[in-house]
Amino acid sequence: MLEEKISEINSGFNQDIATIKDQKQLEELRIKYFSRNGLVSQLFDELKNASKEEKPVLGKSLNTLRTDLTAKYESVKIQLENSKEKEEDKIDLSLPGTRRIIGSKHLITQTLDEIKTIFKGLGFSVVGGPELESDYNNFSALNFPPNHPARDMQDTFFITEDFLLRTHTSPVQIRVMEKYKPPIRVIMPGLCYRNEAISSRSYCVFHQVEGLYVDTDVTFAELKGTLVSFAQQFYGEGLKYRFRPSFFPFTEPSAEMDITCFLCHGKGCRVCKHSGWLEILGCGMVDPNVFGNVNIDHEKYTGYAFGMGIERTALLKYGIDDIRIFFENDFRFLRQF
Amino acid sequence: MKVSLNWLKDYIDLKGIASNDIVERLTMSGLEVEDVVDETAIYKDFIVAYVKEKKKHPNADKLSLCIVNTGTEDLQVICGAPNVESGQKVVFAPIGTLIPKGNFKITKAKIRGVESYGMICAEDELDLSDDHSGILVLDEKVNVGKSIADELSLNDTVMEIAITPNRPDALSHIGVVRDLAAIYNKEFKLPSLKLHESSHKIKDFASVEIEDSENCPRYTAMVVRNVEIKESPEWLKNRLTKIGLRPINNVVDVTNFVMYELGQPLHAFDLDRLAGHKIVVKSTEVESTFTTLDSKERKLPAGTLMICDGEKPVAIAGVMGGENSEISNSTKNILIESAFFNPASVRKTSKRLGLSTEASYRFERWVDPSGTLFAAERTAQLIAELGEGEILNGVIDVYPEKIVEKEVPLRFERIKKILGYSVPNEKVISILKRLGLKVKFESEKEFRFSVPTYRSDIEREIDLIEEIARINGYDNIPTISKISISLGEKVDESSFVDQTREIACSLGFYEMLNNPLQGESLAEITGNRIQVLNPQSIDMAYLRTSLIPGALSVVAKNINVGEKTLHLFEIGNVFNLNPDKEKIESFEDFTEVQKLLFILTGKENEKTWQQPEKSFDIYSLKGIVDSYLLRLSLDKVVADSYYNNEETIFDLYYTKSYKGKILGTGGRVKKELLKQFDIPQDVYCFEFDLNLLKSIKSEGRKYKEPLKYPKSIRDLAFVFDKSVTYEQVIKFIWQMSSELLKSVRIFDLFENPSLGENKKSMAFSLEYFSDERTLTEEEIEKEFSKLISEVSKKFNATLRGT
Ligand SMILES: [Zn+2]
């Protein structure tokens, strides 16, 4: 008896659900079958009248029926809801979204970061030092004798006779070598000051990255290798380079590193002063006198040092023609990078 | 320094070597050639032409129509110069010639309807001078049809060489030749001397005495009598003009010529104006004044080394001669000074006087003490030759203590240790010999070399290694790409600052970089300023005491150009003199601190189709500062303090502190200060001490398991007296709650007459949960209702229906 009804309701439900077109019909279906007085509920009521033997079997069938029908009902319901959403999906996607502002680092910082990342990858630590320095750290300890013309290479802002605004990041070399024992492998980025006439090519403050490596077997050949590796990572693989002799009191032998002008590819242009080369950094082997000043045995240890200006590097890399723009902080400029 | 290739060739045979090879090799051995003017390349197309005929231009008053003969043809040329005449020999640029001035090519042109086949040139067009008053009219002797490169000796290559301070020996043509000889492994010769000395002995006409031999180790003098002062011959004028000097007269020109030839500065005195025909070299004992030959009166400090005659000073030693003894057109008898002065002494004098000359430039770097005699003789010979004078017999050479050649040892194995590659011993010796060094001692492992006195820079083994490296070529040093691993501990002192920058950017801030040098009016706003002793200008005479004044200038500048919404940050050092100090004598007397500044003004968001416009306010600032600290995981340990009416640059002012130490201050900038900067809108900023912040940065965050048990959220709203602050309530809520309370958020705040007078409503959302279990309704309810009654009691607040 009950079994037949179960099968009847099952097929009736299947027929009914096949005709459902909208929410309203679905709701009617729900009421017809699943409401408190619905057909399924009625069957459960009838179960009470079944014999003790039949009850477990029928109960199971009824439960299966209810699970089946509910599942079918739910699936149609989801289908209908999805199609309803599409109907109502009249949103104008062409309207602009709500933008989030993300700031940016100064172009100089970005350039510095790039350089830092490369040297960190080559095993260098990063340390800093003060901008208001002693004359000793900035000059004397770096083998610039007092009253020597080498001091004219760097026009200096003095605070007192013995204190000044550092003219390069090289005094950090002295601080590092006084504090740590070799092996020492560090880069030292920072702000420097020069009392030079301000023009589109020079400003009275600028950033430098200094490098220093001191160990038992550091050679000029390794200095070249390290800097070439840096230049290739920073400026690109295929570049040509040259090292030419130069002079810095704190290194000997000293060199300047040039790379092929990437604006004219070596043919000669205004930027490279028609030489085809761009000077990118100064470097050399740490002078024994400097080691002497920081009590490092220059017979046992050798070392190299290098330094490069960041503003100049950024000018070249981004095609900017006036160095002063870096310190003007025009918001329209800052937002470009 | 300008160097003429033709001049160099007087001393060394460079036949067959292209000038660009010379430029390249000099540069690559340390004498950097910064600029090259190749006259032959510039002037080869210009030819000497003859003006056959000059007529008026039919259509223009100021133009002439000329027929010029170029040696091969007659051409019609229009010329605008007032001085063009028939019969002149002129410089002619045929069609296709590149004109140096303005860098343009001559083309066939129609000028006022008449065709012109070239240009007759003025000096400025040829880049020979700035003269544009008329065309250059040439000497009768030049040959028509020939290139002016040959006819006018415009066939030199002039190099601008940057001589580094360690190479004073290269500050002359001979100096450059010495390097070329070593580079090309060639011989060179000094100019030959042919002195026709008279029978008169110099000792009878002049004397020299050195009182201060420490500052004047050597003084060499010669005398040339009966000299006719006149214009120098062409060859000499040509040499000097090529290197940018203006010829004056034969005597002055010779002293300049010999200085640029040999590197020895020379001075010519009018012997008859020297009292007692005597030279005394001594330092002044008291401050005095002296008129130099540029007619300027100069104040001399005591201790200035002077050249004196029997009565008075006649020259500032090594710097500049005096007006009282200078050569004039009537000078007959000349005393030539060729001396070696102590470099430090000359530099001191030059610095004190603010007077740098070609002579002082060389003396303060070092001239060759062994070279004074040869330079004196060379000068005497040329003056005698060009002025038909008579060289007195002998030389006065006062040289009390001879400066001897240094001996420097070299261990061959150190070359590899420094450079990373081996240079064969024979090559090492050959290079050093080519540079004028002599072997003094030899063994298998070590040599000892004597160094000529002109190479003051070679004193140590490392100096010899440098010479070997540069002459052998840096290109020959291998480029080793194996990079050894150092075992030292890696540090990155910049990582905290880097992280700060990342956070600031993610909070929507753009980084700025300001010049730490600023004017007093800015530096004095925020601290105890430090002054620069030798500033470039008054608006860069002080170091910033805070990042704020510089940032306000930037805000003002940007508002001026229409950028009214700004959200900027800066990281930089600020400098303050300790309050009890007048002057910096040690690092303890001042502070240099790295700071971080957030500054914002304008609109937090523009009005859009979705949301209304909102301006930045104090809560924007607070939110940004708190987000920054949250990201650093410092939000829990840092406390806020709020102030009213403090003596600061802020009217709304608050601080962040840790264990009583103030980490940062900020708020809304006072209107009075904004007025000073001409800023018409509210500006908010906050400045952190990064040194302090870095020192307390939490030990690093640890992983916390995501919550396993549900959270319970309870909202409550109270009506408070208006005077009750958010901070009071929130502190009390935390105080009254157990550890089950995990967060409190204010989500509503308003005032309304319906609440009653001086009342406000604050609504809070509270989050309860436990990491260990699911909380029961009962325990939350118990805690929550206790809180409600405590808050009501404490603040006399009434609970509003939620
Ligand atoms: Zn170029």
Average pLDDT over all residues of chain B: 92
B532 closest CB neighbour out of A157, A197, A228: A157
Domain contains A18: yes
Ligand 1 centroid to Cα of residue B355, in Å, is 37
CA B35 / ligand 1 centre spacing (Å): 14
Question: Are residues B49 and B33 located together in one domain of the fold?
Answer: no
- Residues of chain B with C-beta less than 8 angstroms from the C-beta of A204: 515, 517, 536, 540
**CATH number, domain containing residue B165:** 3.30.56.10
Does position B692 have pLDDT exceeding 80, yes or no? yes
Contact A109 B511 (CB under 8 A): yes
Residue A100 lies in a domain: no
Q: How many domains does chain B have?
A: 6
CB of A104 within 8 Å of a chain B CB? The answer is yes
Q: Are residues A60 and A143 in the same domain?
A: no
Closest chain A residue to B490, measured at CA: A125
Within 8 A of B499 by CB-CB distance, chain A residues are none
Any CB–CB contact under 8 A between B768 and chain A? no
Residue B213 domain-assigned (yes or no): yes
Interface ipTM:
0.87
Q: Which residue has the higher pLDDT, B132 or A208?
A: A208
Give the closest of B420, B470, B567 to A245, CB-based: B470
A95: in domain = no
pLDDT at B290 exceeding the cut of 80: yes
Tell me whether residue B480 is in a domain. no
A193 contact residues in B (CB cutoff 8 A): 517
pLDDT of residue B524: 92
* B707 lies in some domain: no
Is A102 within a domain?
A: no
Residue B398 has a pLDDT of 96
Portion 408-427 of B in contact with A at CB < 8 A: 416-421
- The three-state DSSP-derived secondary structure of B495-537 is HHHHHHHHHHHHCCCEECCCCCEECHHHHHHHCCCEECCCCCC
Whether residues B547 and B680 fall in one domain: yes
Report the gap between the CA of A1 and the closest CA in chain B (Å).
Answer: 49
What percent of chain B lies above the pLDDT cut of 90? 73
From the list A127, A213, A256, the residue facing B491 with the nearest CB is A127
Amino acid at B316: I
Q: Are A230 and A119 in contact (CB under 8 A)?
A: yes
B729-780 pLDDT, tens per residue?
999 999 999 989 989 999 999 988 888 888 999 999 999 998 888 888 888 8
- What pLDDT shows up at residue B485? 63
Gap from CA of B321 to ligand 1 centroid (Å):
45
Q: Is A328 part of a structural domain of the chain?
A: yes
Cα–Cα distance measured from residue B417 to residue B396, given in angstroms and rounded to the nearest whole number:
49
Q: Say yes or no: A116 contacts chain B, CB-CB below 8 A.
A: yes
Average pLDDT rounded to a whole number, residues B550-577: 96
Residues A176 and A270 in one domain: yes
- Cβ <8 Å between B30 and A220: no
pLDDT tens, B406-443?
999 999 999 999 999 999 999 999 999 999 999 999 89
Any CB–CB contact under 8 A between A292 and chain B?
no
* Predicted local confidence at residue B141, as pLDDT: 87
| Closest CB to B480 among A109, A134, A225 | A225
Closest to B284 in 3D by CA, of B354, B215, B207: B215
Distance from CA of A168 to the nearest CA of B (A): 15
Q: Which residues of chain A are within 8 Å of residue B504 when distances are taken between CB atoms?
A: 103
Is residue A45 domain-shared with residue A179, that is, in the same domain?
no
* Among A186, A162, A159, A138, CA closest to A290: A138
Q: Would you say residue B701 has pLDDT above 80? A: no
Q: Which of B345, B472, B480 to mutate to test the interface with A (most CBs of A within 10 A)?
A: B480
pLDDT value of residue A337: 81
Residues B81 and B34 in one domain: no
Q: What is the CA A240 to chain-centroid distance, rounded?
A: 28
A257 CB within 8 Å of a chain B CB: no
**Which CATH number does the domain housing residue B793 bear?**
3.30.70.380
pLDDT score of B700 more than 70: no
Q: Tell me what pLDDT residue B151 has.
A: 84
Domain that holds residue B651: 495-695
Lowest-pLDDT choice from B255-259, B356-360, B638-642: B638-642
Contact A335 B510 (CB under 8 A): yes
Q: How far apart are CA A165 and CA A132, in angstroms?
A: 5
Arithmetic mean of pLDDT, B529-544:
95
Nearest-neighbour CA in chain B from A286: distance (Å) = 10
A286: contact with B, CB 8 A cutoff = no
Q: What value does the mean pLDDT take over residues B677-692?
A: 96
- Per-residue confidence band for A34, with pLDDT thresholds at 50, 70 and 90: confident
Are B464 and B572 found together in one domain?
Answer: no
Burial class (CB in 10 A: 0-12, 13-18, 19+), A330: middle
Tell me the residue ranges of DSSP E strands in B618-727.
Answer: 639-643, 650-658, 661-669, 683-689, 712-721
Query: Out of A262-271, B170-179, B221-230, B300-309, which region has the weakest mean confidence (pLDDT)?
Result: A262-271
Are residues A80 and A218 part of one domain? Answer: no
Please indicate whether, in this complex, the C-beta atoms of B32 and A185 are within 8 angstroms of each other.
no
- Chains A, B: CB contacts under 8 A, how many? 256
Summary mean pLDDT of chain A: 89
**Residue B27 contacts A, CB cutoff 8 Å:** yes
As a whole number of Å, the end-to-end CA separation of chain A is: 82
Whether the Cβ atoms of residue B539 and residue B518 lie closer than 8 Å to each other: yes
Answer yes or no: do A172 and A317 share one domain. Answer: yes
Query: What's the pLDDT tens digit per position in B336-347?
Result: 999 999 999 999
Whether the pLDDT of residue B644 is over 80: the answer is: no
- pLDDT digit string, tens, across residues B487-512: 566 888 899 999 999 999 999 999 99
Output the six-digit token pair for B646.
Answer: 């403090």
Q: For A265-274, B104-113, B702-711, which range has the lowest pLDDT when averaged over its residues?
A: B702-711
Q: Do B498 and A113 touch (CB under 8 A)?
A: yes
Determine the average pLDDT of the residues in A199-210. Answer: 93
CATH number at residue B286: 3.50.40.10
Q: Do B587 and A134 touch (CB under 8 A)?
A: yes
Which chain B residue lies closest to A304 (C-alpha atoms)? B418
φ/ψ of A304, rounded to 5, equals -125, 160
Higher confidence at residue A48 or residue B395? Answer: B395
Can you give the CATH number for the domain in which B131 is found? 2.40.50.140
Q: Looking at the domain assignment, is residue B630 inside a domain?
A: yes
* Together in a domain, A39 and A125: no
Residue A303's pLDDT band, with cuts at 50, 70 and 90, is very high
Residue-number span of the structural domain to which A254 is assigned: 107-334
Is the pLDDT assigned to residue B389 strictly greater than 80? Answer: yes
Q: Are residues A74 and A115 in the same domain?
A: no
Do A31 and A157 reside in the same domain of the chain?
Answer: no
Q: Looking at the 3D structure of chain A, how many domains does it have?
A: 2
Residues with CB under 5 A from ligand 1 (ion): A 261, 263-264, 269, 272
Please indicate, yes or no, whether residues A228 and A191 belong to a single structural domain of this protein. Answer: yes
Interface of B with A in 427-486 (CB under 8 A): 460, 462-463, 465-466, 469-470, 474-475, 477-486
Q: Return the pLDDT at B554.
A: 96
Strands B396-398 and B390-393, bridge-based pairing:
unpaired
What is chain B's length? 802
User: Is B501's Cβ below 8 Å from some Cβ in A?
Assistant: yes
Residue A25 shares a structural domain with residue A80: yes
Give the pLDDT of residue B515.
96
| Residue (of A114, A103, A204, A106) closest to B512 by Cα position | A106
CA distance A112 to A109: 5
In this prediction, residue A88 carries a pLDDT of 58
My answer on whether A74 and A208 are in the same domain is no
Facing B536 at nearest CB: one of A120, A126, A195: A195
Given an 8 Å threshold on Cβ–Cβ distance, is B418 in contact with A243? no
Q: A283-287, B148-152, B470-474, B663-667: which has the minimum mean pLDDT?
A: B148-152
Residues B629 and B754 in one domain: no
Contact B343, B364 (CB under 8 A): yes
Together in a domain, A58 and A113: no
Residue B469 · residue B411 · CB < 8 Å: no
Residues B23 and B53 in one domain: no
In terms of domains, do B294 and B214 share one? yes
The residue among B18, B336, B417, B345 whose CA lies nearest residue B184 is B18
Question: What residues of chain A lie within 8 A of the CB of B489, using their CB?
Answer: 125
Q: How far is A115 from chain B (nearest CA, A)?
A: 13
In this structure, are B289 and B202 located in the same domain?
yes
Distance A235 CA to ligand 1 centre (A): 15
pLDDT band at B331 (very low <50, low <70, confident <90, very high): very high
Confidence band of B666 (pLDDT split at 50, 70, 90): very high
- Which has the higher per-residue pLDDT, B701 or B539? B539
Alpha helices in B364-510 (DSSP H): 372-387, 412-419, 425-434, 461-472, 495-506
A158 touches chain B (CB under 8 A): yes
Average pLDDT over residues B171-191: 95
Asked whether residue A85 is domain-assigned, the answer is: yes
Looking at the structure, tell me whether residues B504 and B391 fall in a common domain. no
Indicate yes or no: CB of B491 within 8 angstroms of CB of A126. yes
